[in-house]
């Protein structure tokens, strides 16, 4: 696949990459472009904004279009995220 931008690894091992309308995948990790249509239920995710990880958990559900995901933490808290909320979604494939 096409890779655009710098490749970085976060302290937790999730792959992050600045992308422009491309999805990257390497070693079962991925990073999202605008639209989260490749993330699947059960994937471990991190949502960051302004360079800070703000939420982590597993995808509990998602819309078919990939513009909304519901993420559940290990403590059972569930939260809805919309692609327009300004979060960057990184995930590790289950």
Which sequence spans correspond to the domains of the chain?
7-92
Distance CA 32, CA 82 (A): 13
- What sign results for the dihedral spanned by CA atoms 24, 25, 29, 35? positive
Provide CATH code, domain 7-92: 2.30.30
Query: pLDDT for 15-37, tens place per residue?
Result: 443 332 223 323 345 554 457 88
pLDDT number for residue 15: 46
* CA dist list (Å): 48 to 2, 31, 32, 68: 23, 11, 11, 15
pLDDT over threshold 90, residue 76: yes
- pLDDT of 64 > 50? The answer is yes
Tell me the average pLDDT across 73-77.
93
The confidence score (pLDDT) of residue 12 equals 54
Stated pTM of the model: 0.64
Flag whether pLDDT at 82 surpasses 80. Answer: yes
Determine the Cα–Cα distance for residues 81 and 76; give it in Å rounded to an integer.
16
Please say whether the beta carbons of 70 and 80 come within 8 A.
yes
């Amino acid at each position: 696949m096409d890779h655009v931008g710098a490749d970085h690894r976060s302290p937790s091992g999730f792959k992050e990459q600045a992308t422009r309308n491309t999805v990257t995948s390497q070693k079962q990790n991925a990073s999202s472009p605008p639209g989260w249509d490749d993330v699947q239920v059960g994937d471990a995710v991190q949502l960051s904004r302004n360079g800070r990880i703000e939420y982590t958990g597993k995808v509990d559900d998602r819309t078919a279009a990939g513009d909304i995901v519901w993420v559940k933490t290990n403590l059972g808290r569930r939260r809805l995220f919309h692609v327009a909320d300004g979060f960057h979604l990184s995930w590790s494939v289950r």
